[in-house]
Amino acid sequence: MPAYVHVNLRVKDAAKQADLAPRFQAALTAAGGRILHFGPVAQVLEGNVEPLPLAGIFEFATLSDALAFYNSSEYAPIKVERDAAQEARMFVVDAG
């Protein structure tokens, strides 16, 4: 069953974010993931916590694949640099 990584973020440094984006996409693709959506949050439907302005949804074949991506050597340096580029919340869901 597929798994989905969701990220909700605010860009803090546009130049650093622009440098990270293609590297993130390459690491995601190498791990078998694909981008389903990346762009502005359209509307809050419920809840009282304001989301960060951007959202991404990334699909993987399995939860194991999603976790392997997150813990991969390709993604590790990107994780280190993300804090300077963006404020983010990230989580994974298992559709199985």
The tens digit of pLDDT for each residue in 10-43 reads 999 999 999 999 999 999 999 999 999 999 999 9
Q: How many domains does the chain have?
A: 1
How far is 18 from 39, CA to CA, in rounded Å? 14
The tens digit of pLDDT for each residue in 29-85 reads 999 999 999 999 999 999 988 899 999 999 999 999 999 999 999 999 999 999 999
How far is 33 from 22, CA to CA, in rounded Å? 14
Question: Tokens 């293609």 map to which residue?
Answer: 22
Q: What is the CATH number of the domain that holds 18?
A: 3.30.70.100
Domain span at 87:
3-42+51-94
The number of C-alpha atoms within 13 Å of 4 and in the hemisphere containing its C-beta is 12
